[in-house]
Structure formats: C-alpha cells, structure tokens
Structure 1
Amino acid sequence: MDQFKAWRGFMTYEFETLSDQGMKNITDYITLLSQLSRLSILSTEVHPNIDNSYELVKRCYSLFDELSNYYQKYLENYGLPSNSSFVHLLLAQTFESAEQIYWCKKYSDENFPFDRLFKVLGWNNSRFDIALLLDALECELWTMGVPIDSLNNTKLITVTNKKLYMKLQFIYAKNLFGPITLKACVKDYDDKSEHKDVFPYEIINSKNWNEVLMKTEPFEYEDFKSQIKGGYSITKDEYDQYLVDFKRFNNRLEYLKYYNISDTEIVVEPLMNLIDIFEQFNIESQKYQNVK
C-alpha cells in the first residue's frame, strides 16, 4: 500500500522591476508618482528525488531575451504566439517541468488522490506580484481561474494548462509561514545563515536599463544611495564585499541575474524544512495555508 508522501516539487520566483519616476495626474484627486514595469523574472524549481533529496533548476528571462535573435525560436518551441512576453516563456517551461515532476512522484495506486498541481511561491507582496503576472496568466495555452480574495489582495490563484491539464497554483509564501520577513524566515527554518547580496536597483529605469546593465565595471558606492531609505542601502563593509563578489562576473547584468536567483533560492531550504515538519503528521504543508 502506498504511504503518504509530501509534495516536494515547487517553484519560487521573483521579479526585478524598472521604476519610472515622475508625477502624472490620473484624476483630479490622484497623482501617480512612479510606475513599475518588468525587467526580468527569476525562478528556482525544486525537482525532488526518490530519497527526498532534490535538484534545483534555475531560470532567468528578461527584456534582453526579447531583444535576442533567438527569442522567436524559443516561443515557437513552446507553441507560444509571437507577441508573447518573457513571462509567458517562463510559464510554458514551468508547466513542462511540473508535468515531469508529477509523473516522477505519482503514486502507483491510480485511486490514490494526487493533484496535477504545481505550487509557485512568491515572497513579495501578492498585489505586487499579481500585477506583474496578470497579463501572462491568460493566453491560448492556459487559462486563469477565479482568484481567492481579490486581484488587489490575492491569496491564491490557479492557472490551468488547456492541453496538459496541469495546474500552476500561485501562492503568497507568507500564507505558509505567517507574517514574517524573509530574513527571519531563513533564520527560523534553516540551519545555516545566508549571505544576502546587494544591488542598487533604484539606479535603473526604463530608459537606461540596457546601457547601465551592460557595463563591465562595478557600481560606485554612490550608486547605492537610496531615496527610499534616505541614505545608503549598504555599509562600506558590504560594498567592499560586493566588489569582491563582482569579480566573478563579466558585467552588471550577470551579477543582477545572480543576485535575483539568490533571492529565489534562499527560500527553498526553509520550505523543505517546513514540508518535513508537516509530513511527520501526514499533512501536506502547502495545502494548509492562511487565506483569510
């Protein structure tokens, strides 16, 4: 007889955005101070093995990919329309990975309930993530279900592939861990401390991203001056460590990819530890979440 086994396949993701500063009157009472657009989407997929170990598959797609000569070929490989964004491309690959993981972990007893469902977890505010995802969640190949709660405060949203019938379920990760910061989560649910990398994201906008990110020299300390924090976003010691880290990369874009992927990978071990805790009681941790 099959024993209960927790679902260990999932994906974490994060957006890197561009900010356009400038006052724009929307109505007589509302003024838009800045507007965000997508620069890239990063993900870390967890592919579980039989012995509960796992392999990580890391992906990154950005505006640079949309400018490449091979982009249309990538879209054709997944049957995507020619006007698809890099987010569509990542979702197509995620559906493919979800199908592979499903067949690897499926119970031998066909009557044992096992959803064709793959969890996709984001740590950022759910309103922020869904706003950036929304235009890619409905297309010729997949369809979006009704969100739990509202689009302004989405707790959970399911997207179903029309051909594979595989579902991607987008979850706000804090629904699993509770109201906790990412730093505190890693500290509480992981055995090792994580080195947090730094990046001066405020310096990039929709007009200069290509020029700024293709430069081969590291950012200056002054680039880390933050209007949001009202000072420098890093200390001098952290900047010195950044200079050491940057030597491993050819340009700022490569470092940015590394920086963003680190943010998606850092959540994996805490999630796996949470799954292990729940599995002791035959509970699927990712099905028990606070959606109030």
Structure 2
Amino acid sequence: MYKQYLRTVIGSMQERTNSDTHEKIVSIFSITLFVFRYPLAGAAIPSLKQHIKRREIYYVDCKVNLCFWTAYSFITMPNTKDKRWNVCSRIAEAKRIFSRINGVEFRDNYQGFDFVGDIYNFINKEQINVHMYTFEDNPPHYELTQNYLVNDSDKQFNILFINDGINAHIMYISDVEALTGFRYCNIYHKQAFRIGDKNLQVQMRNHMKKCQRNDGKIIKKVILEKFAKPFVPHILSNKTYKYLLANNLTHLFKPTRYYITYDIETLEKKVNEKFGDSSQVTATLIPYTIASTIKLASGIHSFYQDIRTDDFLDKWLEQLFEEAKQVKKDNKYIDESIPQYYEVPVIGFNSAKFDASVLFKNLKSKDWTISKYLGQNTVAKQIVVKHQSSSIQLRFVDFKIYSMQHKLKDAVRDFGNGLYKKGRFPHEFININNYMNELNKSEPFPIEAFDNKLRNKKISEVKYKKYLVEAAKHKTRWDYLKHYNILDTRVLIEPIDYLIELIFKYNVDMLADISMSQCSNAIKYSMEYNGFDINGDYNCESTDKSIEITQNYWRAKVESYIEQDNKKDRDSSNN
C-alpha cells in the first residue's frame, strides 16, 4: 500500500493541470502523518481457518491472549518424532515464558502482545531474531513484512501475523520456504530468492558475499548506458510505434479510435455531520442514473441504467465489460505480433473528481478488481479495472486531462461539429427526498424548477421553450432524464474524435497517453524529429577558422597578462 501511495504521489507531482499553472507553491504550512500500528495479538479470530490447514503453520487453540507466547513455545519445546506436546503443555509453557520475560505472573485479563512496546524487550532477552509474515489475498500468497533483529544471533523465530483490521493472531511457521515459495538471505533476512529458480544457489552465494561486505545494506549502483540514447518520447513512450518504426512499418500505425464514454447523475443528500472541531460534511452524492455511449467501427450506440433497478451500477459495469470486448477487437491490429495496448478507454467529463469517486466502491468485486490506480485520494487521474475471467481491462480517464475546458458545453462548442449540444435538466430541483415522485410525472418541469439558486440565475424563456420541445418527445420525466443522461455521453464523441485526429497528425496516440502534457511533449519532439533522416550523415563540420599559435602571438599574450598583474599590484614573479 505504501509503495502504491508513493507511485501515486510521484505521478501526481509530475502531472500539471491548467489550474496548477495559475498557482505557485511558496511554502508548506501544514503536514499530516498517518501512523499505522499493529493491533494487539491475542485469541483466535474467524479468518484463521484457511491458514490452520497448512502443515507449515502451527496453531494452538487457546481462549486467552497467549498466541505469541504459544507460538514461541515451538522454539523452546519443539515437537520431535518421539514427543509431540499437547495443547495444555504448550499453554503452560507459554505462561512460564511470559513470566520469565516480563517478570510478572500471567493473568487472564492480559490484552495481548504489543509489537510496539514488547518486541524489543523480547528479542533482547531471548537473543533471537523474529521474522513476521503476513497473508495477502490478491493474489493469495504469504510474504515477509517485518524483521526484528538482534546483533550476532543466529536463532530465528518465524511467525505468521493474521490481522482482520480489528483483531490479530500469531502462529508459528515451521517451514518458511514451503509456505512462501522463497528462500531468504541467512544473514539479514531481507533478500528473497524464488525456490524454483535453477540459479538459486549461485544467486544466494553471490548475494551473501555482498551482504557480508556491505553490512546488510542494499547498495544500488547507477550503470550508465554505453551509448547515449536519443530523447524521443513520441517513439519510446509508445511500444506500438516503436516496433513499427524499427520494422519500417509506420504506415500501419493508427490511433486508438474506439472507446466508451460515461456519465453519472447524482442526488444531493444532506447529512451535516461534524468531524472534530473544524470539519463538517454538509452533503453526500447519491448516484441515481448512469449512461454510456460506445464508439465502434460499426457505429455508435448507448445504454442506460438507473436507481429503479437493483444494483444498477454493478449491472452497468457488467454490460460495460461486455461492450468493451468489441471495442478491444476494433482497436486491435490484425497482426497480433505487433505490441499494442489492450486497455479499453472509458472516458468521462470531470469524472476524476466526481464520477470516479462515486463509482469507486463498485470497481472492486468478485468478478473484477482495480489493477492500476493513478491519482490522489480525491482525484483519480486513471483507474484500470480488470475482469477476473475475461481479462478485459477498462481504463477510466477524465476528458479534462486532454483539454482545458472547465465545462462540457465549452468542450462541445470548441471541438464538436455542431450536431449535438448539451441538454438541460433541473439538478437543484430534484433531490433525494422528491426524485421518485417528481420523475414519475409526465408533464414537463416548470420554468422555476430550472432556477439556479447557487449562482442566482434563471433560465431564459427562449431556452425553456427549447426544453419544452425536447420534453414533448418523452412520456415521463424518467424518459427525459434518460435522454439527457445519454446525451451527455453522446456529445463527448465529436470532441474526443477531433483531438484524437489532431494529435495523430504528429504520430502521437492521444488515448495511449495519460495527459495533455505528455501528448504535447511528444508532439514537440515529433515535430523536431520530422525532418530527421535515420540513414543520413550528420557528422558536424566546423566552419570556424583555426588559430595558429606563433611565438609572437604567445609573447604578446604573456606580456598582456603581466601588464594586468602590474596594474592590480599582483606578484607575477612566479608566473
């Protein structure tokens, strides 16, 4: 999680939006640090069942919070072929160990082992290294999480730490290699080597030599390229174009022309909840309709779901994955040996802040999961969702990362062809309390329903008459809402197509990049590269006249320096 957070922060720092260019960071006046603490390890928890079955994991059924100490009893009282200690003996041994290390008798109200306050006292008194392993479920595997080491100790204590978010439990690991599939460095226990690797012994031997020499520190060396590589981002950042250029097949290069657009309509639910002294949430957004338009080689079509259907967001995602199969097929190259991008773009307008956050909890289920995330907690610049069975990948992005328009109608006006315009809907009039009653009506919305109290604006008579003409085509307000929602996704098609073709003039695939800054950088170098002949001779010939150093020239030079020294009263005797 921490590594993913770092990648997200770095990616966010490298990207700039139009708003960022109007601001200059002059200081950091506050910072928040999140500290995550292991819960106390105690009695058994329900999630242990799948781990107890493993023969490498030793579990002791104990009703009190003794799990760390019962796990350690397998070190002080190991099982042998002749003797296997029963549960009662292990609990008794655990209590003896507890008393010896802590200097007090064990009591049943003991809360559990605290890694913050207890672990270093334990390893120093017992002179033993503790290696903590955890279980990750996506994909299912066991991995090393933490080492607690004592200098000059070769005793090892391997434990499995299972945490359900509230409670935790510890069990003894008898065979780390069988459990994890890795062999760890015997010296500092940081480097792991896959058991199935045929070069395991050689790699282990080489690593341990370095480990001893560097005192366990991993020292990374910068290895420079033998030959300088040209900086051509429009080539090197696109694996498809790079391959085609190398094979003299650039005439086959094509942009990602087929994609899906989406839009979510939300209702405001007032909550007015306070968090601390200075934070208050006034309202939350509840999604109640969602629509998508799919652009394929065969044409354009749309689909829609709303809150009247149970789990409508999940059903929309199911249909989205089905539609994405054809989008992926249309974007593919006929020659499958050509490296290409298989992620299907799903584009919203201003979706990074709103739509993606509303949809986020539905992007993880038993059928699909988030495989990539770029952005911050409140702004998702890119989310890639992968289907577990079909392997279809949806790449959710915001149209605003490719343009500077703050409003959808501005993007349609600037980049559209004039056939479609954004519709009108009384968002403030419809709320969580009245939406079902109001949308079931068949008559058009009254003119006062379109009043914008936030901006103190009213709809003009001309615009309202245009709305009435459109509303007359639909039986109910639900039908009009469906039309409005789909229209918001349909009007995006022409602006996206316009930008795709505009940027492709410079051999740059817009939807393969993650921002306008990346596209513009690629375009800049593409324009410079345009006149470059890869087979041309670019050996530089100097046109400067050579200087012939004669004795008279050199004498005059020296006398000039001596004269300067004399003027500055500098000692020139040793010159």
Bucket of the pairwise TM-score, normalised by the shorter protein: 0.7 to 0.9
- Evaluate the alpha carbon distance shift between residue 291 and residue 156 of structure 1 in structure 2; reply closer, same or farther with a 3 A threshold: farther
1:186 alignment partner in structure 2? 412
Q: Distance in 2 between matches of 1:162 and 1:291?
A: 31
User: Which structure: larger Rg?
Assistant: 2
Q: CA–CA distance in 1 between the matches of 2:508 and 2:281?
A: 45
Q: Residue 503 of structure 2 aligns with which residue?
A: 278
Q: Is the 8 A contact 2:471 2:480 kept in 1?
A: yes
Q: Pick from 64, 74, 80 the counterpart of residue 308 of structure 2.
A: 64
Classify 1:143/1:22 alpha carbon distance in 2 versus 1 (closer, same or farther; 3 Å).
Answer: closer
* Counterpart residue type for residue 315 of structure 2: L
1:220-255, Cα deviation, whole Å (9 max, x unpaired): 1111122222232x2121112211211111011101
Contact 1:176 1:288 in 2 (8 A): no
Contact 1:279 1:285 survives alignment (8 Å): yes
Q: Secondary structure at the match of 2:494?
A: helix
Structure 1 residue 99 corresponds to structure 2 residue 319? no
Bigger CA drift: 7-16 or 97-106? 97-106
| Deviation per residue, 1:180-220 (Å, 9 max, x gap) | 43223222222326433211111222222111101011111
Q: Partner residue of 1:142? A: 368
Q: Point out where structure 1 has 5 or more consecutive residues left out of the alignment.
A: 50-54, 67-84
Q: 2:144 maps to which residue?
A: none
More deviation, 214-223/202-211: 202-211
**Residues 163-188 of structure 1, C-alpha deviation per residue, up to 9 Å, x if partnerless?**
11111001011111235432232222
Q: Which residue does the alignment assign to 1:264?
A: 489
Match of 1:31 among 262, 280, 295: 280
Q: Which runs of 5+ in 2 are unaligned?
A: 1-248, 518-575
Alignment of 1:71-150 (within 5 A): 85-150=311-376
- State the 1:284 CA deviation: 1.1
Q: The residue matched to 2:291 in structure 1 has which SS?
A: strand
Question: Which structure 2 residues correspond to residues 1-12 of structure 1 after superposition, within 5 A?
Answer: 3-12=252-261
Amino acid at match of 1:204: I
Shift in Å, 1:270:
1.1
Give 1:291 deviation, angstroms: 7.7
Q: Secondary structure at the match of 2:369?
A: strand
The partner residue of 1:209 within 428, 432, 435 is: 435
| Cα distance in 1 between the residues matched to 2:516 and 2:371 | 16
SS at match of 1:254: helix
Partner residue in 2 for 1:246? 471
TM-score (ref. length: structure 2): 0.45
RMSD (CA atoms): 1.9
2:566 corresponds to: none
Residues 196/130 of structure 1: CA separation in 2 closer, same or farther (3 Å cut): closer
Count of aligned pairs: 268
**Is the contact made by 1:130 and 1:154 (CA closer than 8 Å) also made in structure 2?**
yes
Q: Give the partner amino acid of 1:253.
A: W
CA contact (8 A) 1:155 1:171 kept: yes
User: How do 1:156-175 residues align onto structure 2 when only pairs under 5 Å count?
Assistant: 156-175=382-401
* Cα distance in 1 for residues equivalent to 2:500 and 2:330: 18
State the Cα distance separating 1:289 from its structure 2 match.
3.5
Measure the CA separation in 2 of the matches of 1:20 and 1:41: 18
In terms of fraction of residues, the more strand-rich structure is: 1
Q: For residues 211 and 123 of structure 1, do their structure 2 counterparts lie closer, same or farther at Cα, with a shift above 3 Å needed?
A: same
